[in-house]
Amino acid sequence: MNTSFGITAISAVCLVTLTIGALGFRLSRTTSDFYVASRMVTPAWNASAIGGEYLSAASFLGVAGLIYSLGADMLWLPVGYTVGYLVLLLFVAAPLRRSGAYTIPDFAQARMESPAVRRLCSVMVLAIGWLYLLPQFKGAGLVLHTVSGAPLWVGNLVVAVVVLINVVGGGMRSITLVQAVQYWIKVTAISVPAFVLVSWWLHHGQPVPQVTALRPDQGWALPLSGFGGVEHPVYATYSMLLALAFGTMGLPHVLVRFYTNPDGQSTRRTTLVVLALLGLFYLFPPLYGAFGRIYLPRLPAGISPDSITLLLPTVVIPGVGGELLSAILAGGAFAALLSTASGLTICAAGVVDQDLVRGRLRRVTGNDARAINGFRIAAVAAVAVPFVLSLAARDLGLADTVGLAFAIAASTFCPLLVLGIWWPRLSTTGAVAGLLCGGVLAMSAVLTTVIGGLHGGWAGALLAQPAAWTVPIAFVVTVVVSMATPSRIPRGTARTMVRLHTPENLVLDRAPR
Amino acid sequence: MPPSIDLVALAIAIAAPIALMTLAWAFTRASRRRQEFTSPVDRQTYETLHTASRAARHLQKGLTAEGAPKVAKHLRTLLGTQALALCGSTSTLAWDGTGTHHRDQVWRLASEVLTSGHTVVLGAKEVACGDPTCPIRTAILVPVISDERVVAALAAYGPAASPGLVRATEEVAGWVSTQVELADLGPQRSRVVEAELRALRAQISPHFIYNSLAAIASFVRTDPDRARDLLLEFADFTRYAFRRGGTFTTLAEELGNIEHYLALEQARFGDRLQVSLLVAPEVLSIAVPYLAIQPLVENAVHHGLESKEGVGHVSITASDLGSEAEIVVEDDGIGSDPDVVRAVLAGVQSGDSVGLGNVDARLRQAYGDDHGLVVETAPGAGTRVTFRVPKFAPDIQPSSS
């Protein structure tokens, strides 16, 4: 592959990100007009921003990689990534906005009135954030390696540094406009090469995928056939869908965006637009998976399936055209993981700062430290941990790692949010029990698979895709413990419930207690 | 996916943070707990103080029905009696220890203490029940006095009442009294803040209303349409400033009010008053204390223009800092002496800085001492007032007018 195109594209993306970060707030216009100054962010813009933050390396590269290597079952992956927002829209979006919470720990504090639940949530946010950052770093390594042949760690380092400069420099505070434009850049970057590939395919004989499987009943295009060695494909598929559908509501970097909406109604509208935007984006990754099977039925040695999207144009279209398309895709992938990584870092750093650093810093410096310094220290920690981990980890599928983060989010925050919003008898003890139980089960399932490797049979399937059993167990534990401890129902529950569920345009005394 | 070394790395990815966090938590716990005591007296002192501080935690909101049983448990540990009861002014709040069947008589026995406010020691004749094995034979009843009113009674039960125990019980009741008094201070403080808000509403009026009306009057003949618009602005401004209910509003609404205010000031100063705004749309829906920014703008107009020749600039900035928003009001006027500002913020002197101390006090009350006003100024160098508002604070919801 021609190195210079790809490197140029990636450097351009990094440079633009840093420039926007450095300009930061100055991008917005100074005005003397109050009407202009106090214009709210519209649902359409905010939805684009959510799309920009959400579409990560896993979506850009990982989905195509999994469809390529595991076959038709993985078509549920883009569906799952999108359907999570439908669940969010139906059960969580508007009440969560009305609660006034900025993060999930905030919601826990507002609803459960307990600092203990808040701290527990903070730990979970950090775990999910780090787990989600890992594939972003690894994706960067992969992109840079595919484009230039550089060692994998170089890409990790580049992303870590760019994100750190951005966040610590106080630049990109995830400005809505910037993230919204990011979404459209990503859509363009993935769709233009796809359109070119499709027209190439139409004009060059329309070949069909040639897939040789070990067994005749296993086919790449055959649903639930266990292609690629997946055992119990029906269970695995449903469990994955469950994790994605219920995990989206627990993603820290997505939820903070909803705060930008002025009220519950506009939050619902935003979510609706997000569904449409993600639906649009996810039309394209499966195309790359399918074309991969047509034009590159056997992966060259030492190439991860995750880089299929980047390789494809150069394989299909000889010459400069293919190189250019490949460079566009590399740039798009880098933009995707930079924006997601920045958003996640800001969230993780916010949690570390608020619940771990700030108090300690104040004690050490005697109340002299500026608040921003705490955030900076926290940001370094938030980036350093997943960076070191990404150096240690190597061959994990991008979308797989992200799936694990979704499973943990679904087993912990989903019961808390759904029951917290819809069930007045949720008690503090029940919430803690559910969070601990879901978190410990999901994490240990992930750990067992990961340390002991994939086991065969049902045990292996249950451990590799834990959501189907950890999510129901977390719900049951939360409900049963809550029923057993009615004395620990937060005192302000009735009031909080009224606040969560009453539309803002009704005149109502919303002052808490 | 085949098992490999990378999977182990992922395992570390998840296990390490959890382990780290648990360790950190355990460490802070341990370092606080595991104190080496040089003598039994030290340990005794520590244990007494520790029990007292744990009881104090449940007294934060005063003597409540929820907190009382926990308080009673710790107080009984403190006194080392067989049983201990707490009586509110209307009912028995808690019984801790043996002989729960005595609980029903506590109220009858305590009513005397509650009315007289004196310590009462009762012997077996009044207290003991038919059961000869029951250790509850005497009672020491002590009043809990807050603000010169008897708010509760503390009853210590045991087989015998030594003078030492009576003294100790009285001391404990005195300590509870202090805690209850402290708890009463909280609501009192928020009442003070409410009063300050009312005072601020009243403060807005005289000068500003006079000047605005004079400006409007000057337009009535020359430009009746403008006069009409200004009157409407004036009506909107006063409606917002004198509205009832809710101590919090959204930044968007507060900005709307500042718009009305500045329209009126611009009618007076014309082109001499230049305003620039830079507001991140992400923070418009944030909850801010009602009338928190307008006094700062009024102050800036005051300093930036009134005592100065030529054009004055006032800029209002609201930026997004992640979990907080930063709001800055800046003018390029005559500035002021930092010592004067310090005195105003400390509440020593009200000065000509309208409402500055008031806003500062209300911000600190709502969000804590980290979130007060930061004023940067010097004579001749303009003034810059900054404060930060968290996006989420428990118990704070904006209420619209």
Residue B10: closest C-alpha in chain A: A393
Asked if residues A259 and A102 have their Cβ atoms less than 8 Å apart, the reply is yes
Runs of H (alpha helix) within A71-218: 76-87, 93-98, 104-112, 115-148, 152-168, 176-203
Residue B277: closest C-alpha in chain A: A31
Touching B: A residues 107-126, CB under 8 Å: 109-110, 113, 123, 126
Residue A452: closest C-alpha in chain B: B3
**Mean pLDDT for chain A overall:** 84
How many other C-beta atoms lie within 10 A of the C-beta of residue B358? 22
> What ipTM was reported for this prediction?
0.84
CB of A368 within 8 Å of a chain B CB? The answer is no
Q: Is the pLDDT of residue B401 over 50?
A: no
| Band (B270; pLDDT cuts 50, 70, 90) | confident
Residue B387: what residue type?
A: F
Q: What are the chain B neighbours of A451 within 8 Å (beta carbons)? A: 7-8, 11
Residue B325: what residue type?
A: A
pLDDT digits (tens, 9 = 90+) for B307-348: 677 888 899 999 887 788 899 999 988 888 888 888 877 766
* Most confident residue range from A23-27, A54-58, B54-58, B130-134: A54-58
Q: Which value, in Å, is the radius of gyration of the alpha carbons in chain A?
A: 23
CB of A179 within 8 Å of a chain B CB? The answer is no
Instruction: Output the pLDDT for position B26.
Output: 60
Alpha-carbon span A158 to A164, nearest angstrom: 10
Instruction: Output the pLDDT for position B3.
Output: 42
**Do the chains contact at A38 and B279, CB–CB below 8 Å?**
yes
Residue A229: closest C-alpha in chain B: B1
Q: Give the least confident one: A113-117, A281-285, A388-392, A453-457.
A: A453-457
Residue A66: closest C-alpha in chain B: B1
Selected residue of A26, A32, A34 to mutate for chain B interface (largest B Cβ count, 10 A):
A34
Asked if residues B359 and B373 have their Cβ atoms less than 8 Å apart, the reply is yes
Instruction: Output the pLDDT for position A287.
Output: 92
Number of A–B residue contacts, CB under 8 Å? 180
Mean pLDDT of A313-324: 88
Distances (CA, A) of A236 to A77, A214, B261: 12, 20, 62
**Do the chains contact at B6 and A396, CB–CB below 8 Å?**
yes
Instruction: Output the pLDDT for position B13.
Output: 56
* Most confident residue range from A75-89, A204-218, B308-322: A75-89
Mean pLDDT of B168-186: 83
| Band (A204; pLDDT cuts 50, 70, 90) | confident
Q: Give the least confident one: A89-98, A289-298, B15-24, B283-292.
A: B15-24
The larger pLDDT score, comparing residue A400 to residue B23, is at A400
Alpha-carbon span A470 to B27, nearest angstrom: 31
CB of A399 within 8 Å of a chain B CB? The answer is no
Q: Is the pLDDT of residue A288 over 60?
A: yes
Alpha-carbon span A338 to A352, nearest angstrom: 21
Least CB-CB distance to A392: which of B3, B12, B323?
Answer: B12
- Look up the CATH architecture of domain A3-29+39-406: Up-down Bundle (1.20)
Phi-psi region of B67 (alpha: psi -120 to 50; beta: other; left: phi over 0): alpha
* Residue B307 burial by Cβ neighbours in a 10 Å radius (0-12, 13-18, 19+): exposed
pLDDT digits (tens, 9 = 90+) for A429-442: 999 999 999 999 99
**Do the chains contact at B394 and A110, CB–CB below 8 Å?**
yes
To the nearest 10°, report the CA torsion of A318, A321, A322, A326. Answer: 160
Touching B: A residues 414-443, CB under 8 Å: 443
Q: How far is B97 from chain A (nearest CA, A)?
A: 21
Q: How far is A107 from chain B (nearest CA, A)?
A: 9
Q: Is the pLDDT of residue A27 over 60?
A: no
Distances (CA, A) of A96 to A129, A271, A416, B318, B319: 20, 13, 12, 24, 23
Q: β-strand B83-88 against B92-97: which pairing, if any?
A: antiparallel
Touching B: A residues 54-83, CB under 8 Å: none
**Do the chains contact at B11 and A447, CB–CB below 8 Å?**
yes
Q: What are the chain B neighbours of A48 within 8 Å (beta carbons)? A: none
Contacts 24+ apart (CB under 8 A), B271-274: B271/B311, B272/B305, B272/B310, B272/B311, B272/B312, B273/B301, B273/B304, B273/B305, B273/B311, B273/B312, B273/B314, B274/A32, B274/B311, B274/B312, B274/B313, B274/B314
**Do the chains contact at A176 and B397, CB–CB below 8 Å?**
no
* Residue A353 burial by Cβ neighbours in a 10 Å radius (0-12, 13-18, 19+): buried
What is the domain partition of chain B in residue ranges? 243-390
According to CATH, the superfamily of the domain at B243-390 is Histidine kinase-like ATPase, C-terminal domain (3.30.565.10)
Instruction: Output the pLDDT for position A244.
Output: 93
Which pTM was predicted?
A: 0.77
Selected residue of A447, A463, A502 to mutate for chain B interface (largest B Cβ count, 10 A):
A447
CB of A30 within 8 Å of a chain B CB? The answer is yes
Q: Which percentage of chain A shows pLDDT scores above 70? A: 89
Q: For residue A121, what are the contacts with CB-CB under 8 A and spacing of at least 6?
A: A104, A105, A107, A108, A413, A416, A435
Q: What are the chain A neighbours of B273 within 8 Å (beta carbons)? A: none
Instruction: Output the pLDDT for position B161.
Output: 78
> Coil, strand or helix: which one is A243?
helix
Q: Which percentage of chain A shows pLDDT scores above 90? A: 29
Q: How far is B345 from chain A (nearest CA, A)?
A: 18
Alpha-carbon span A6 to A9, nearest angstrom: 5
**Do the chains contact at B277 and A31, CB–CB below 8 Å?**
yes
Q: Which percentage of chain B shows pLDDT scores above 90? A: 4
